[in-house]
Amino acid sequence: MAEQILKMTDISKSYFLGGEEQAVLSHIDLSVNKGDFVAILGPSGSGKSTLMNLIGCLDTPTGGEYSLSQQNVQELDEKELAAIRNREIGFVFQQFHLLPRLSARHNVELPLVYAGIREKERAQLATEMLARVGLEGKMEHRPNQLSGGQQQRVAIARAMVTEPTILLADEPTGALDQKTGQQIMELFHQINKAGKSIIMITHDSEIAKNAGRIFRILDGQLREEGAGC
């Protein structure tokens, strides 16, 4: 039986605007097992960004239960949430968010700095991870010396270098042309086949088809559509 690493049960999220409660997510159920490749598909305003923030422990739900690696997220304080983000979740964003003055290797080392890893080990781990994403010859290049696809590979290496439980990707091909985007999807398949769980947030139904499980979110409600590829 597959190991369950994430479970959301009856999750809701509301915000108060002008003294009125506005529900953004309602009755969300989501479970992810080790080795799953999940796509959460939805248009702008559907609630997918709010759901991503909850999955990534960047926000906490209003109601329901969220367990990540056997930990109840609602019971964690801010320091503990930061620790679980660093340990369990690798983030990949649409706009890469690389530091422009740092080399590819030093960008990848950043999460290891926060994790307290020593300099020599950081350099070795970052070098190995950049090689895994096909950037052996680009270690000392700065972001402005790299193509968009290469920058996203650096961002993926940075997300993976701490060996997180889940790779959480927010519109990972949104800033790339179609060909480069598909190359990034091929890299995701390689990462997933190596046993890493991936949750991908996207508005693109063609990109979503790369996942093994597809969920559609609309008006704050989530339902599984079935297998992709």
Task: Please write the tens of the pLDDT for every residue from 17-41.
Answer: 888 888 999 999 999 999 999 999 9
Cβ atoms of 196 and 162 closer than 8 Å: no
In the chain, what percentage of residues exceed pLDDT 70? 98
Distance separating alpha carbons of residues 28 and 40, to the nearest angstrom: 12
pLDDT at 53 over 90: yes
Cβ atoms of 220 and 26 closer than 8 Å: yes
- Sign of the Cα pseudo-torsion (164, 2, 198, 219, in order): negative
pTM here is: 0.92
Average pLDDT estimate for 38-58 = 93
State the chain's mean pLDDT as an integer.
92
Distance separating alpha carbons of residues 54 and 10, to the nearest angstrom: 13
Q: What is the predicted pLDDT for the residue at 86?
A: 84
Strands (E) across the chain are located at: 4-17, 20-33, 37-41, 63-68, 71-72, 89-92, 166-170, 197-202, 213-218, 221-226
Amino acid in the structure at residue 107: N
Q: What is the predicted pLDDT for the residue at 226?
A: 59
The pLDDT-based confidence of 162 (bands split at 50, 70, 90) is very high
Residues contacting 47, CB < 8 A, separation 6+ = 13, 24, 25, 217, 219, 220, 221
Q: Where are the domains of the chain?
A: 4-226
Distance of CA 143 to the CA centre of its chain: 21
Structure tokens that stand for 16 in this block: 């108060």
Q: What is the predicted pLDDT for the residue at 115?
A: 84
Indicate the CATH number of 4-226 among 3.40.50.300, 3.40.50.10320, 1.10.10.60, 3.60.15.10: 3.40.50.300
Q: What is the predicted pLDDT for the residue at 229?
A: 44
Q: Which uninterrupted H or E stretch holds 126?
A: helix 119-132
Q: What is the predicted pLDDT for the residue at 12?
A: 96
Q: What is the predicted pLDDT for the residue at 227?
A: 45
Distance separating alpha carbons of residues 27 and 118, to the nearest angstrom: 44
Distance separating alpha carbons of residues 181 and 189, to the nearest angstrom: 13
Q: For 65-84, what is each residue's pLDDT tens digit? A: 999 998 898 888 888 888 88
- Sign of the Cα pseudo-torsion (82, 71, 92, 172, in order): negative
Q: For 175-222, what is each residue's pLDDT tens digit? A: 899 999 999 999 999 999 999 999 999 999 999 999 999 999 999 999
